[in-house]
Amino acid sequence: MARLRDDRLDREAAEKLAISIIAMIAEEPETLGRFLAATGLGPANLRQAAHEPRFLAAVIEYVLADESLLLMVAERCRIRPTLIAAARARLDAAADEE
């Protein structure tokens, strides 16, 4: 993922980050199992949910609640953890706009 900065984090960049996070979670069977259990979703409806800003914000919130997962995501994306929090705020604002 390209490096992102807080001042360039628009809705599209925040959505792309959240979708990248979903892909990372899906790569780890144990992490995916915990995520699906926490959300109540199954693999079939995960794709559909990924189109909703509130769900994307919830994905990032899930990551923010688990420090080891947050640090893993930040490292893989080569971004600061604070940018992940900024993406959640941007997605929350986008969901409120709808």
- What is the predicted pLDDT for the residue at 43? 80
pTM: 0.84
Per-residue pLDDT at 7: 53
What is the pLDDT, as a whole number, of residue 4? Answer: 52
pLDDT by residue, tens only, the chain of 98 residues: 444 555 568 889 999 999 999 999 999 999 999 999 998 998 888 888 888 888 999 999 999 999 999 999 999 999 999 999 999 999 988 777 76
3-state DSSP percent of the chain in helix, strand and coil, to 5: 80, 0, 20
Is the Cβ–Cβ distance between 54 and 19 less than 8 Å? no
- Predicted local distance difference test score (pLDDT) of residue 5: 53
Position 76 scores a pLDDT of: 92
Q: What is the pLDDT of residue 25?
A: 92
Q: Residue for token digits 């929090």?
A: 85
